[in-house]
């Protein structure tokens, strides 16, 4: 029997700070940022609502122009995989670091106040920024063909 494994992460959260892009010695761009995800639950004993925020370190390779759009407070959808690496700190102690290696990044929403800053109705909808090469725009459909979306069109 062949063994199978899955390393898949899907996160929807808000950026904790502006993304930063640096370059490796070979010139490959690496964009890093953090996102916060939260959950809310009702405590069974006290009946009080509790909240918890988790912070996730995200790295995106070969997407140098993306950092201009990944600004603090923006809501994003991240799809990728977990990666754990280790390094030695200045005291020679081994430290472990887990991060999400993003394959796709989709901007979902704006920061508070963008509508007041003139973005309002003219603000673009969700923007997908995959790690892979840019996709071509789809050709316009003929006018006599229905573009109605059915349940078969939904990917999940």
CA 128 vs. chain centroid, Å, equals 10
Give backbone dihedrals phi and psi of 153, rounded to 5 degrees, phi first.
-85, -15
Least confident interval from 39-53, 85-99, 103-117: 103-117
Confidence of residue 63 (pLDDT cuts 50, 70, 90): confident
Q: Which pLDDT score, from 0 to 100, does residue 32 have?
A: 94
Inter-residue contact 11 to 37 (CB < 8 Å): yes
Domain range annotation of the chain = 9-153
Residue 60 scores a pLDDT above 70: yes
In a 3-state reduction of DSSP, which class is residue 132?
A: coil
Q: Which pLDDT score, from 0 to 100, does residue 150 have?
A: 54
The closest of 58, 54, 50, 14 to 38, measured between CA atoms, is 54
Model confidence, pTM: 0.65
> What is the CATH code of the structural domain delimited by 9-153?
2.40.50.140
134-137: long-range contacts (C-beta < 8 A, 24 or more apart)? Answer: none
Element (H, E) at 11: strand 9-15
Burial of 149 (0-12, 13-18, 19+ CB in 10 A): exposed
Give backbone dihedrals phi and psi of 121, rounded to 5 degrees, phi first.
-70, -20
Least confident interval from 92-96, 113-117, 123-127: 113-117
């Amino acid at each position: 029997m062949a063994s199978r494994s899955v390393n898949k992460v899907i996160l929807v959260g808000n950026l904790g700070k502006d993304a930063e892009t640096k370059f490796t010695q070979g010139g490959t761009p690496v964009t890093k940022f953090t996102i916060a995800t939260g959950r809310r639950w009702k405590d069974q004993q006290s009946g009080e609502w509790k909240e918890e925020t988790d912070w996730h370190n995200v790295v995106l390779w070969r997407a140098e122009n993306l950092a201009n759009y990944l600004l603090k407070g923006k809501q994003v959808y991240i799809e990728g995989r977990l990666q754990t690496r280790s390094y030695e700190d200045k005291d020679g102690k081994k430290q472990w670091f887990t991060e999400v290696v993003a394959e796709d990044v989709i901007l979902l929403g704006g920061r508070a106040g963008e509508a007041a800053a003139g973005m309002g109705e003219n603000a673009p909808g969700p923007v997908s920024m995959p790690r892979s090469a840019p996709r071509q725009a789809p050709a316009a459909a003929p006018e006599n063909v229905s573009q109605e979306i059915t349940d078969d069109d939904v990917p999940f």
